[in-house]
Structure 1
Amino acid sequence: MRYTGPKAKVCRREGVLIFDSPQISKAFNRRKYPPGMHGPKQVRVRMTEYGTQLRMKQRMKRAYGLTEKQFRKFFDIAARQKGDSGDNLLLMMELRLDNIVFRTGLAESRPQARQLVSHGHITVNGGKVDIPSYQVKIDDVVSIKESKREKPYFKNVLSQAKVATADWIMWEASKSEAKVMSHPELSNLKTLFDTRLIVEYYSR
């Protein structure tokens, strides 16, 4: 099942902010210690090697909002590709259409981005794509479906000029569209996700 519980609780357990949201960030910063502990001075229990690998797998899976079955499918594809399996997996997560919509700033969270895609509000190269896991490629153009742009939600998002993109995505405000210019720099993401541990987990 896809995790739908309290996201701040997950961040506290991980000891790092893995969900981008002002509300979650505020809750996390207020109590930067794991659930079940009664204050920051209580010592964390040392995890086993397997536990560390499992925790990292859960971290990435929950951050991108996937079920175990979906995440394992992506890992199997990544493992069959050339190059580092962990890098391949992380790149595939970032190139999911719902993640692109989130990175572009059209949604405040990945779950919201997934909903926008599933409801047919997003197009890729002019054609409607309602599959959140769709893999976007370099030079693809992602935009709001023209018939949906007058909806209050999109009018509000676009009027606030806060449609901030990742440095590998170019947003063109006049057309309400984003173009994928390159692949993301994975080294920045690896400070949050140690893909080596995930590869080790599935290689046991």
Structure 2
Amino acid sequence: MARYIGPKTKIARRYNEPIFGENKFTHKKQYKRVYRGKRFKKNDYISQLFEKQKLKYIYGILERQCRKIFKRASSIKGNTGDIFLQLLERRLDNVIYRLGISTSRSGARQLVCHGHIKVNAHIVNIPSYYLKPGDIIEIAEKSKSHNAIKQALSSIKVPIVSWLSWNKEKMLGTFQHLPNRNNIPENINDQLIVEWYSK
């Protein structure tokens, strides 16, 4: 499946944020972006497009997936923007990243695809699998000694969010409840994305 494999620091500079986590971008002096010799000014169209593209880079999804998730969110009763982000946070690859089992979402996706993760005692190899409240996420027995997993767990830098819990001894996590918009740490203006897809 197609994924972005280009220069990550370039993308981080474009959005003036560490999109893919901490890298050399975060240690360099930031400059305002210049476009064709003039100050780069954003209009409504560009602001909406940039926000949508930023979200896709953060969660590592493609346009077709993003549109499909938005369509599902818009069919559920409630605030479309909040539900849209909620669905993205419920993805298995994102939850693995949030729990600190992997240091990045791309790494989490690889762990899932290679069968290192169990959900409710069954191996799940679909990164886009939606978790429900009460689901138990654990590392497969054969994978508990995996170097990448051990290294990630020993140096957890990503804080575990309020809707997840992690048992260090048993090496398993629990999806406790659906996340609220205020508790999602990503700097995303979901209203601009809703406006983009509502055209």
TM over 0.5, shorter chain: yes
Give the match for residue 31 of structure 2: 33
Q: Name the SS of the counterpart of 1:76 in structure 2.
A: helix
> Deviation per CA, 1:93-135, whole angstroms, max 9, x where unpaired?
1110000000000101000000000111001010011000001
Over 3 Å counting, the alpha-carbon distance change for 1:128 and 1:190 in structure 2 is closer
Counterpart of 1:112 in structure 2 is: 107
Greater shift in the superposed pair: 142-151 or 171-180:
142-151
**1:27/1:101 Cα in 2 relative to 1: closer, same or farther (>3 Å)?**
same
In the alignment, does 2:41 pair up with 1:46?
yes
Cα shift at 1:72: 0.8
Q: Is the 8 A contact 1:138 1:183 kept in 2?
A: yes
Alignment of 1:101 with 2:101, yes or no, is: no
Aligned to 1:7: 8
Find the residue that maps to 1:175 and give its secondary structure.
coil
Q: Within the alignment, does 1:127 sit opposite 2:128 as a pair?
A: no
Are 2:74 and 1:76 aligned? no
Moved more, 189-198 or 166-175: 189-198
Cα displacement (A) at 1:79: 0.9
The answer to whether the 8 Å contact 1:12/1:31 transfers is: no
What RMSD over aligned residues (CA atoms) do the two structures have, in Å? 2.2
Shift of 1:137: 1.1
SS of the residue 2:174 aligns to? strand
1:174 match: 169
Q: Which residue of 2 aligns with 1:162?
A: 156
**Alignment-derived partner of residue 132 in structure 2:** 137
State the TM-score, normalized to the length of structure 2. 0.89
Distance 1:44 1:142, change over 3 A: farther
Question: Which structure 2 segments of 5+ residues have no match?
Answer: none
Distance in 1 separating the partners of 2:116 and 2:32 = 38
Give the alignment of 1:52-91 within 5 angstroms: 52-91=47-86
Contact 1:2–1:68, Cα closer than 8 Å, also in 2: no
Work out the CA distance in 2 between the residues paired with 1:34 and 1:7. 18
The one-letter amino acid of 1:14's match is Y
Query: Structure 1, unaligned stretches of length 5 or more?
Result: none
* Cα separation, partners in 2 of 1:5 and 1:44, compared to 1, 3 Å: farther
The residue type equivalent to 1:32 in the other structure is Q
**Residue identity matched to 2:125:** D
Shift of 1:36: 6.2
Q: Deviations over 1:155-200 (max 9, x none)?
A: 4444x27385222211101211001122223124477111110011
Compare 1-10 and 62-71 and name the one that shifted more. 1-10
Partner of 1:20: 21
Q: What is the one-letter code of the residue matched to 1:75?
A: F
2:4 maps to amino acid: Y
In structure 2, the CA distance between the partners of 1:54 and 1:176, relative to structure 1 (3 Å rule), is same
Q: Secondary structure at the match of 2:45?
A: helix
